[in-house]
Amino acid sequence: MSSRSGSAGEYETSDQSPSCSASPPVPESSETEAEGLIFYHMDLYGSKERFDIFPEDLSGQGDRSWGDTRREPALSSQKFQRSQEAGYDLEKEVAELAKMYGLDEDREKELELLGGHVENRWPPARTGKAKSQGSIYNASKSISPVKDQSQSTKPQGLPDEASQDEEPSKARAEDEAESCIQSREGLSSGGMSDEWNSQAVSEEEEVADVFCSTCKIPIRAFDKLFGEHKDHEVAQLPSAMESEKEEIHKNMCKLEEQIAQMENFACHLEEIFITVEENFGRQEQNFEVHYNNAVQVLAQKYEEQLEALGEEKRQKLEALYGQLVSCGEHLDTCKELTDATQELYLENDKANFMKAAVAMVDRLEEFLKKEVDLELSMLPDFEKRVIDFSEVEQLMNSINTIPAPCAPVINPQAPNAATGTSLRVCWGLFSDDTVESYQLCYKPVSNETHSDEQAEHTLKVKETYCTITNLLPNTQYEFWVSALNAAGISPPSERAVYVTAPSPPTIKSKKIRSCENAALVCWESRDVNPVDSYTVELSKLTDEEDGDSITESIVGIPNCEVIIHLQPAQSYRICVRALNLGGSSERSDPVLIHTTGTYFCLNEDTAHPLLAILGDGFTIACDELENPECDLPVYDNSFTRCIGILGSLIPFPGKHYWEVEVEEDTEYRIGVAFENTPRHGYLGANNSSWCMRHIITPSRHKYEFLHSGMTPDIRITIPPRRLGVLLDYENCRLSFFNADIAQHLYAFNARFQHYVHPCFALETPGILRIHTGLAVPPWTALP
């Protein structure tokens, strides 16, 4: 049984059936035949028994419906028995076909992809019409029908299992034989039921195992090979699912970003709402103040004008009243004179008349001589007063001008916006107020209780930034700012704390230690306040360059020392910067480090009071062993009995070599010791120090190699004048050499639990000259 999709490749049956032969295919067409598919007859079995299973006398059955192709159970049973008698095993043949086309593997793959929870599309047994129709559908497909058939027959078991359940096995065998007959008839007619087409589609959609990228739907792998998705791009479901999940995750991230942006915008809108309310309140208050001022000025003007008008009225009335009183007095006098004259005129006695008349005439003449003022002293009209409304107009006009600005917003300190003596402060306005200038105030922050007593400084600036100079390094300052315009000054901003950059550190050149591939650099801070971290900058010195260019920077150093890995046989210029929130300090004074060998210094704090360190720093001397009258400084870490001194710690793994130049008549001790070696004892007399001792006896020069007071019996015939010391941390060995003749003297094999110090001591007056920075000689290599 084979099929083609269009005119594409042809699949033949397995050669595992030796009796199988194919007859020439004869295409037959049918209206129910699937579009683009051509079906061919093929005899699966080239034996006589095939005629009993698939009789060729099936004329007219191609036009029959699928329901008419069913045979009676007895006929099917009879044909199946004849096929069994002929030696043909249908179940075995179907299983072989399923194995040949890899359908079992596909089934396992589907179960694995779907987690084993997939509905079995090929039930163990089909009965009735559904069984025969399933077999016919299987025969019309190229690969998936074989898979269905194999899956449907596979659970039935092999023939040796049929005896366990004989009745179900016979029924299944009859159904299989009948299905094969109906499949042959279906291939001859080319017909296919629409019912089973829909069933096949539902089954394929149910167990989709790949994803069609073109159609954006899950499909079966068989649809990619032989279906409508043949030319489409597909991908495995897990990878497609991961890709879709990733795309969904990206979209979700974008949505989250949009949500964050919208939330920020909403917060900004809320702030704007609040600002509008605040501005409205401020503007309303501004209007109220200005209008109240204008009304107050008007009231004052009114009172002043009314008072002036009343004063003028008073003056007029007083003047008129005085004039009226004077006029009344004059009238009274006139009436009195008139009455007296009238009485005199009626006098009949001539003598009395004449006496009184003369006096009366004089009186009248004198009275009439007086001028009577008949002019009004005051007019009834009031003078026109011009009211000055300029101040009121100014107040009214000021209502339409800009109000006083609101408080500015001072910005936090920006990184690297400070030096050791200056700060750059920035601020801004939250609203669109008009500002003519700003008033910046600052003072140093103090941890004391009375911090408000610190002197405040005020600057007037035009811009929204200002650089303040003449400040103290690594010091915190408090800043606040106010805005000014013609209407007034704003409230001060919230206070912000800025800090200046630190001062340049000071490298302790006497405490620098180095070897061929590393260096320990120590420094100290010049600031009272702590800093955040330090940065070490290295410049490799070459013949062509002057070393100003930085070749490497080590940042984020929390303490005042660091071990730096370097390249052997090089020279470096090293500087240190201190950093805090304000920025970086200037570079420290540089120091030179050479990696030709191990460098260390002598620790003066450990020196015995009688031991002197000469000017070069690497020569120790002792003039006398006892001096009770000497007043030399004694430190807590100094040697008190042994006239010795420790060198600085050598904290680098590997090999370290130095030499000591000695005099033949000087007794000494040279070696290494732990930090906690007793200061009241002798070097080599305890388990924390190892040393070579030279003493002079009456008979010879004696050399001892001491540790815990023990020494081996070693005789040295040639006294060394230049003693080499090799400290090997990795091999746990301390070796001594006569450097003049490259002679190995002795080696301590000890496991150093900690790093050690070089140690030196004089037992007689003399001098020891120490030479450091020497490369390890090749002749120091020991087996």
The string of DSSP letters for 672-708 reads: EE-TT--TTS-TTSSTTEEEEEEEE-SS-EEEEEEBT
Measured over the CA atoms of residue 553, residue 558, residue 561 and residue 563, the dihedral's sign is negative
* Whether pLDDT at 180 is above 60: no
Per residue in 433-481, pLDDT tens? 788 899 999 999 876 645 556 788 999 999 999 999 999 999 999 999 9
* Whether pLDDT at 515 is above 70: yes
Measured over the CA atoms of residue 461, residue 462, residue 464 and residue 465, the dihedral's sign is negative
Tokens, residue 164: 């366990």
With both helix axes pointing from N to C terminus, report the angle between 90-100 and 166-189 in degrees, rounded to the nearest 10. 60
Q: How far apart are CA 640 and CA 679, in angstroms?
A: 6
Tell me the backbone φ, ψ of residue 341, rounded to 5 degrees.
-65, -40
Predicted confidence at residue 501, as pLDDT, reads 92
Predicted confidence at residue 632, as pLDDT, reads 56
Candidates 456, 472, 455, 468; CA nearest to 426 is: 468
Residue indicated by tokens 């295919």: 25
CB contact at 8 A, 441 and 479:
yes
Lowest mean pLDDT, pick from 368-372, 421-425, 698-702? 368-372
Which helix H or strand E contains 457, and what residues bound it?
Answer: strand 457-461
CB contact at 8 A, 420 and 585:
yes
H, E, C per residue of 371-431: CCCCCCCCCCCCCCCCCCCHHHHHHHHHHCCCCCCCCCEECCCCCCCECCCCEEEEEECCC
Pairing outcome for strands 612-613 and 506-507: unpaired
* Whether pLDDT at 169 is above 60: no
Alpha-carbon distances of 371 from 336, 365, 395, rounded to whole Å: 18, 12, 57
CB contact at 8 A, 52 and 82:
yes
Q: How far apart are CA 458 and CA 440, in angstroms?
A: 6
* Whether pLDDT at 338 is above 80: yes
Q: For the whole model, what pTM was predicted?
A: 0.49
Residue 333 CB coordination number (10 Å): 12
Kindly indicate the confidence band of residue 380, based on its pLDDT and cuts at 50, 70 and 90: confident
Query: If 0-12 CB within 10 Å is exposed, 13-18 middle and 19+ buried, where does residue 181 land?
Result: buried
Q: How far apart are CA 89 and CA 93, in angstroms?
A: 6
- What does the domain layout of the chain look like in residue ranges? 4-232, 239-369, 409-499, 506-594, 604-780
Lowest mean pLDDT, pick from 500-509, 567-576, 629-638? 629-638
* Whether pLDDT at 583 is above 90: no
DSSP character at residue 500: P
Per residue in 411-437, pLDDT tens? 999 888 899 899 999 998 877 778 889
Residue 19 CB coordination number (10 Å): 13
HSE-up of 644 (CA within 13 Å, CB side)? 30
Lowest mean pLDDT, pick from 283-287, 288-292, 356-360, 414-418? 283-287
Measured over the CA atoms of residue 645, residue 651, residue 653 and residue 656, the dihedral's sign is negative
Predicted confidence at residue 672, as pLDDT, reads 96
Q: What percent of the chain has pLDDT over 90?
A: 31
Q: What is the mean predicted confidence (pLDDT) over 563-591?
A: 91
* Whether pLDDT at 78 is above 60: no
354-361 — which CB contacts under 8 Å span 24+ positions? none
Homologous superfamily of 506-594 in CATH? Immunoglobulins (2.60.40.10)
Residue indicated by tokens 């030196």: 760
Q: How far apart are CA 264 and CA 170, in angstroms?
A: 76
Lowest mean pLDDT, pick from 22-31, 283-292, 621-630, 756-765? 22-31
HSE-up of 316 (CA within 13 Å, CB side)? 13
Q: What is the mean predicted confidence (pLDDT) over 673-689?
A: 93
Position with higher pLDDT, 376 vs 166: 376
Q: What is the mean predicted confidence (pLDDT) over 29-38?
A: 42
The residues, ordered by sequence, that sit 6+ positions from 705 with a Cβ below 8 Å of its Cβ are: 690, 691, 692, 693, 711, 712, 714, 736, 745, 746, 748
Q: How far apart are CA 354 and CA 408, in angstroms?
A: 108
Q: How far apart are CA 711 and CA 704, in angstroms?
A: 6
Tokens, residue 107: 């089934």
Longest dimension (CA), the chain: 211
Candidates 613, 572, 610; CA nearest to 594 is: 572
Alpha-carbon distances of 723 from 590, 633, 658, 668, 746, rounded to whole Å: 33, 30, 9, 11, 12
Per residue in 110-119, pLDDT tens? 555 555 444 4
- Rounded to the nearest 10°, the torsion over CA 634, 636, 639, 644 is -80
Do the domains 506-594 and 604-780 sit in the same CATH topology, yes or no?
Answer: no
| CB burial string 732-759: b at 16+ within 10 A, e below | ebbbbbbbeeeeebbbbeeebeeebbbb
SS3 580: strand
The residues, ordered by sequence, that sit 6+ positions from 41 with a Cβ below 8 Å of its Cβ are: 23, 25, 26, 184, 187, 188
Q: How far apart are CA 409 and CA 242, in angstroms?
A: 48
Predicted confidence at residue 655, as pLDDT, reads 93
Residue 274 CB coordination number (10 Å): 10
Residue indicated by tokens 């008839």: 185
Candidates 98, 86, 73, 107; CA nearest to 1 is: 98
Which fold does the domain 409-499 belong to in CATH? Immunoglobulin-like (2.60.40)
Q: How far apart are CA 292 and CA 640, in angstroms?
A: 91
CB contact at 8 A, 623 and 781:
no
Position with higher pLDDT, 226 vs 574: 574
Lowest mean pLDDT, pick from 18-32, 696-710, 735-749? 18-32
Which helix H or strand E contains 223, and what residues bound it?
Answer: helix 221-226
Residue indicated by tokens 């601020």: 427
Residue indicated by tokens 């030179």: 592
Predicted confidence at residue 39, as pLDDT, reads 43
* Whether pLDDT at 483 is above 60: yes
Q: What is the mean predicted confidence (pLDDT) over 227-237?
A: 82
Predicted confidence at residue 737, as pLDDT, reads 96
SS3 445: coil
Residue indicated by tokens 């007793």: 678
CB contact at 8 A, 749 and 732:
yes
When mean pLDDT is compared over 21-35, 277-291, 388-402, the highest value belongs to 277-291
454-463 — which CB contacts under 8 Å span 24+ positions? 461/437, 462/437, 462/438, 463/438
Residue indicated by tokens 């899950």: 218
Candidates 605, 628, 626, 572; CA nearest to 757 is: 605
Q: How far apart are CA 626 and CA 641, in angstroms?
A: 11
Alpha-carbon Rg for the chain in angstroms: 61
Tokens, residue 664: 């033949």
* Whether pLDDT at 167 is above 80: no
Q: How far apart are CA 402 and CA 348, in angstroms?
A: 99
* Whether pLDDT at 74 is above 70: no
* Whether pLDDT at 186 is above 70: no
Tokens, residue 177: 């034989």
Considering the domain delimited by 604-780, tell me its CATH architecture: Sandwich (2.60)
| CB burial string 683-721: b at 16+ within 10 A, e below | bbbbebbbbbbbeeeeeebebbbbbeeebeeeebeebbe
Residue indicated by tokens 């809320």: 270
Query: If 0-12 CB within 10 Å is exposed, 13-18 middle and 19+ buried, where does residue 151 land?
Result: buried
Which residues is 485 bridged to in the sheet? 488
Predicted confidence at residue 649, as pLDDT, reads 92
| CB burial string 580-594: b at 16+ within 10 A, e below | bbbbbbeebebbebb
